[in-house]
Amino acid sequence: MIVRIKYSKTAAGRFLSHLDLLRTFERIFRRAGLPLAFSEGFNPHPKISYGSALAVGVTSDGEYLDVEFTEELPLTDMMKRLKEVSPPGLEVLELRSLDTRGKSLTAVINMARYCVRVPLRQALSQSRLDEVISRVISEPELIIDRERKTGKTEIDIKKGIYALEGCIQEGMLVLEMDVQTGSEGNVRPEEILELIRKFGNIDMEESLRIHRQGLYIRDNPLVRSPW
Amino acid sequence: MVDVCQIIENEILPKVTKPLRYVGNEYNVIKKDWTSVKLRSLFAFPDIYEVGMSHLGLRILYHLVNEQPEYLMERVFAPWPDMEEALRKRNIPLFGLESYHPMCEYDCIGFTLQYEMSYTNILNMLDIGQIPLKSADRGDDFPLVIAGGPCASNPEPLADYIDLFVLGEGEEVILEIFRSMAAHRGKRGGRQDKPALIQELASIEGIYVPAFYEPVYDERNRLKKIVPKEKAVTPRVSKRVLRDFDKAYFPTEPIVPYMEVIHDRIMLEVQRGCSRGCRFCQAGMIYRPVRERSPEVLLEQADRLAFETGYNEISLTSLSTSDYSCVEPLIKELLERYSKQKIGISLPSLRVDSFSVNLAAEIQRVRKTGLTFAPEAGTQRLRDVINKGVTEENLIEVASVAFEAGWNQIKLYFMMGLPTETMEDLDGIADLAYKVLRKGSEIQKRQGRSKQLKITVSVASFVPKAHTPFQWEAQDTRELLRTKQQYLKDKIRDRRIVYNYHESEVSFLEAVFAKGGRELGQVLHAAWQRGCKFDGWSEHFLYTAWIQAFADVGIDPAAIANQAGSFEDVLPWEHIDFGISKEYLWQERQRAYEAAKTGDCRFGACSACGVCQGLDVETVLILEGEKLNDC
């Protein structure tokens, strides 16, 4: 039986790396006493596949994984067990049984929705912010530097920005954005924040909170959830 | 409090390396209400989280204490320098992971002493925790600072900083200490009168209060005697020992870290102690006698642990697991129970014999990691000197079995600078490595395999340790160690043999702190002031600063590390009793010089080390006499 799980990574778990997450979920399933299916070979691995990896420090309300079990089990019992044995940082939200093993989550998920919050060091009006955002969006290309193991590379993230809105709440700049994620390309929310800061010459604090609201399958102009 | 938590979580943690080291909300973590307990304690590990969370003693004591409703125990580890800087910059004291309380607000802090080179971290942690370093400077408002662990067998270098040491097995005595502390506070409305408290605790067996003993030096500045002061309860303090290992507390719901730690698996402790009697080995002396745990208890613990942790590996831990009398039936049963769930079984240390390598072959279906053996010395003569009952035939035989079974990598551990060592013994190390390599090529050729062979030869420098037959030995000078290291390097010229050795500077300081006395307290302070910390980490080790620190206080480290002693000498740990008699140790030293072997009392006659009689304990074997073994 293949089960798709929607889970959240809360503030308590935000410093988990993707590798920490893989280790932790295997242990959750083992503690729940669920019959994991394993790959063949000398070094068997549980058959768990994940959606897009979440960066260290980022929280999320909409992460997905697919896991295979060797037996059919009622989802309500499974949900109860998983909740009992999850650590503080991870919360299983929903379960759904998949009829067949379709395309992998990483193959279909290609869009992420983020909310970024950062305290401002200066006053900023909504109209000024809107103006900065529209200037950013209307640029023909948006070149940013990315650190790679091989050194710095320049890439254009313009095509990977699908939506961008902002507002000011209690001295905080709040940006909501839909951006590309997955094997075709990836836009990081910090990169967009940096563009806003640079274009508008806006003075802001270094501490920021990034929250992923969800992962989606975007087939322009349609956007649907992998659920 | 809330403010500090916010600053730590929002400003500091996002910017330090591996923030999970400081988060403390792992699965099975225990967070108790600070105000409703009688005693708040902090387990302090003077190295990073990944090292500390791999330590079985922490797991045992943390859960033992927290299972008592009236006490709480939290954890603190040495912060990595980036974290230290962030805390100091904001004047935030180092805190316990569970509640983020500053170190100075706990009633009692217990450091574990696993390694001499972690001592500067103890000073540094106290300082970041905003606690005066010296015991004498900590008034009633500061926590009681205690310490235990293997290095407490020579506690003197830390005597200025630690209020009291716990000798021997902590789980046997910790609740006695806490009961006494809680009663003391109960009578005084939650406050402590430190001198009175320490005096009360000193009457507990196994508790050593360094301030109650005074080292006296002669005119040449050599230790003449250690005088118990008026307050001292006993002239010598004996270690505490668990008698019934089956009944001893063992946690079955340990904390499961999010981040990868060094020993990231279930640790099933099959026995305590080892009586092989290797003459350099401190663990083999101070944890005597051998006490085995019965397979029934172990299997029950394994079941609970697998269910409660979700780990996919069970390691059978002890000083020499293939000596456990029921190791074969135990492994067989574990494999039967857990292979379906893909829970692997591992053995951390392998004795050099075919029995052990066959066990390894049975449980380790993936041959990736390689096997490790420790012949310790290169010639039969020197192996007899150190009482390491391993022959060349043993080694070639285990290598053959390993290569036949499909392994391509073998690691060999040796020591350099052992007493009586000559260049011939070093030649012996190279010879053994080449013989193992040749055996491997031969077997590979016959089997038609072509995978690259790799023989790793790791050579540590011998460090004389307290309570061992070699406690009187001189360590080779650093110059000689370096010459020997280079000599061996020139002898090993095959790229399939990888030769590793330790920096002689670190081994030198290890020897100084392993052998030295109370006078080292001021050196430690000077070194810490000069920025020494994480001395066991090569990227942080500042040898020049250490040498300057010795000069600052006018102590010659070479006089401690590189000079041999005699039976009449007063040793700095003369008043610390781990049950092994000084006469036995001296006799073993004499036998070493005659290259005479001494048998293991599990399989033959009692060697009269003094532990069983002196501490009124006995060796506990589950299958007595059924698995005789003469090596």
Q: Output the pLDDT for position B366.
A: 61
CA distance A94 to chain B (A): 21
Q: Is the pLDDT of residue B5 over 70?
A: yes
Q: Which helix (H) or strand (E) holds B82?
A: helix B81-90
Give B570-586 pLDDT, tens digit per residue: 999 999 999 999 999 99
C-alpha to C-alpha distance for A165 and A177, rounded to whole angstroms: 6
The residue of A30, A43, A70, A116 whose CB has the most chain B CBs within 10 angstroms, and thus the best one to mutate to test that interface, is A30
Contact indicator for B430, B492 with CB cutoff of 8 Å: yes
C-alpha to C-alpha distance for B312 and B343, rounded to whole angstroms: 4
In this complex, how many residue pairs, one in chain A and one in chain B, have their CB atoms less than 8 Å apart?
69
For residue B96, count CB atoms less than 10 angstroms from its CB and return exposed for 0-12, middle for 13-18, buried for 19 or more. buried
Q: How many CB atoms lie under 10 A from the CB of residue B479? A: 9
Length of chain A: 227
Contact indicator for B178, B71 with CB cutoff of 8 Å: yes
Angle of the A75-85 helix axis to the A18-31 helix axis, nearest 10: 120
Q: Where are the domains of chain A?
A: 2-107, 110-224
C-alpha to C-alpha distance for B566 and B584, rounded to whole angstroms: 14
Report angle CA A171, A174, A179 to the nearest 5 degrees. Answer: 160
Average pLDDT on B259-272 reads 96
Q: Is the pLDDT of residue B631 over 60?
A: no
DSSP state at residue B627:
S
Q: Which residues contact B445 (CB under 8 A, 6 or more apart)?
A: none
Q: Output the pLDDT for position A100.
A: 77
Has domain A2-107 been given CATH number 3.30.70.580? yes
Contact indicator for B425, B406 with CB cutoff of 8 Å: no
The closest of A113, A110, A11 to A52, measured between CA atoms, is: A110
C-alpha to C-alpha distance for B93 and B106, rounded to whole angstroms: 12
Beta-sheet strands, E only, within B279-398:
291-292, 313-317, 344-346, 371-376
C-alpha to C-alpha distance for B571 and B154, rounded to whole angstroms: 10
Q: Where are the domains of chain B?
A: 2-238, 280-289+347-615
CA distance B78 to chain A (A): 19
Locate the chain A residue with the closest alpha carbon to B8.
Answer: A207
Q: Output the pLDDT for position A148.
A: 82
CA distance A34 to chain B (A): 10
Chain B residues near residue A207 by CB distance under 8 angstroms: 10-11, 14
Q: CA dihedral in degrees (B326, B332, B335, B336; nearest 10)?
A: -130
Chain B residues near residue A56 by CB distance under 8 angstroms: 19
Torsions phi, psi for B98 (to 5 deg): -75, -45
- Rounded to the nearest angstrom, the gap between the alpha carbon of residue B453 and the centroid of all alpha carbons in its chain is 32
Average pLDDT on B449-470 reads 95
Locate the chain A residue with the closest alpha carbon to B27.
Answer: A87
Q: Which residues contact B258 (CB under 8 A, 6 or more apart)?
A: A13, A15, A16, A20, A23, A24, A87, A89, B20, B23, B26
Q: Which residues pair with A204 in a beta bridge?
A: A120
Angle of the B504-515 helix axis to the B478-491 helix axis, nearest 10: 140
Q: Which residues pair with A118 in a beta bridge?
A: A173
DSSP string, B9-53: IIIIGGGSSSGGGGT---BT-----GGGSSEEEEEEESS-HHHHT
Contacts 24+ apart (CB under 8 A), B524-532: B524/B119, B524/B120, B524/B123, B524/B157, B524/B158, B524/B161, B525/B123, B525/B133, B525/B160, B526/B550, B526/B552, B526/B553, B527/B120, B528/B120, B528/B123, B528/B124, B528/B127, B532/B120
- Count, in order, helices (H) and strands (E) of chain A: 5, 11
Average pLDDT on B44-61 reads 98
Both tokens of residue B301?
């613990």
Q: Which helix (H) or strand (E) holds B180?
A: helix B170-187
Taking only Cα atoms into account, the Rg of chain B, rounded to an integer number of angstroms, comes to 25
Q: Is the pLDDT of residue B331 over 70?
A: yes
What sign results for the dihedral spanned by CA atoms B103, B104, B107, B110? positive
Q: Output the pLDDT for position B625.
A: 55
DSSP state at residue B620:
B
User: What is the pairing mode between strands A209-219 and A59-68?
Assistant: parallel
Query: What percent of chain B clears pLDDT 90, i.e. is strictly above it?
Result: 89
Q: Is the pLDDT of residue B348 over 90?
A: no
Chain B residues near residue A44 by CB distance under 8 angstroms: 342
CA distance B247 to chain A (A): 26
Q: How would CATH label the architecture of A110-224? A: 2-Layer Sandwich (3.30)
Mean pLDDT rounded to a whole number for chain B: 95
- Rounded to the nearest angstrom, the gap between the alpha carbon of residue B34 and the centroid of all alpha carbons in its chain is 31
C-alpha to C-alpha distance for B410 and B371, rounded to whole angstroms: 5
CB contact under 8 A, A89 and B258: yes
CA distance A125 to chain B (A): 26
A20 touches chain B (CB under 8 A): yes
Per the model's pLDDT, the better-predicted residue between B3 and B64 turns out to be B64
Q: Output the pLDDT for position B351.
A: 87
Chain B residues near residue A26 by CB distance under 8 angstroms: 310, 312
Q: CA dihedral in degrees (B231, B235, B240, B241; nearest 10)?
A: -160
In order of B81, B506, B543, the CA distances from B540 in angstroms are: 10, 11, 9
The residue of B100, B303, B342 whose CB has the most chain A CBs within 10 angstroms, and thus the best one to mutate to test that interface, is B342
Locate the chain B residue with the closest alpha carbon to A36.
Answer: B341
Give A54-73 pLDDT, tens digit per residue: 999 999 999 999 999 999 99
Q: Is the pLDDT of residue B289 over 60?
A: yes
Are the folds of A2-107 and A110-224 the same? yes
Average pLDDT on B597-610 reads 94
Q: Output the pLDDT for position A206.
A: 84
Three-state secondary structure call for residue B325:
coil
Q: Output the pLDDT for position B359.
A: 86
Average pLDDT on A12-19 reads 95
Q: How confident is the model at residue A224 (pLDDT cuts 50, 70, 90)?
A: very high
The closest of B503, B504, B505 to B546, measured between CA atoms, is: B505
CA distance A1 to chain B (A): 17
C-alpha to C-alpha distance for B488 and A73, rounded to whole angstroms: 62
Q: Is the pLDDT of residue A173 over 50?
A: yes
Q: Is the pLDDT of residue B630 over 70?
A: no
- The region of weakest confidence among B103-107, B525-529, B553-557, B600-604 is B600-604
Per the model's pLDDT, the better-predicted residue between B370 and B410 turns out to be B410
Q: Is the pLDDT of residue B127 over 80?
A: yes
CA distance A138 to chain B (A): 32
What does CATH list as the number for B2-238?
3.40.50.280
Q: Using a cut of 0.80, tell me whether the model's pTM lies above it.
A: yes
Residue from the list B256, B258, B341 with its beta carbon closest to the beta carbon of A16: B258
User: What is the pairing mode between strands A59-68 and A48-50?
Assistant: antiparallel
Length of chain B: 631
Q: Is the pLDDT of residue A121 over 90?
A: yes
Q: How many CB atoms lie under 10 A from the CB of residue B424? A: 12
DSSP state at residue B8:
I
C-alpha to C-alpha distance for A140 and A156, rounded to whole angstroms: 10
In order of B277, B345, B382, B385, B580, the CA distances from B585 in angstroms are: 11, 37, 18, 14, 7
Residue type, B607: S
Q: Output the pLDDT for position B629.
A: 43
C-alpha to C-alpha distance for B520 and B306, rounded to whole angstroms: 45
CB contact under 8 A, A33 and B307: yes
Chain B residues near residue A19 by CB distance under 8 angstroms: 260
Q: Is the pLDDT of residue B261 over 70?
A: yes
Q: How many CB atoms lie under 10 A from the CB of residue B262? A: 11
Residue from the list B10, B25, B310 with its beta carbon closest to the beta carbon of A27: B310
Q: How many CB atoms lie under 10 A from the CB of residue A91? A: 17
Contact indicator for B116, B513 with CB cutoff of 8 Å: yes
Q: Output the pLDDT for position B166.
A: 98
In order of B205, B265, B364, the CA distances from B361 in angstroms are: 45, 20, 6
Residue from the list B14, B25, B259 with its beta carbon closest to the beta carbon of A57: B14
C-alpha to C-alpha distance for B582 and B224, rounded to whole angstroms: 17
Mean pLDDT rounded to a whole number for chain A: 93
Residue from the list B10, B19, B260 with its beta carbon closest to the beta carbon of A23: B260
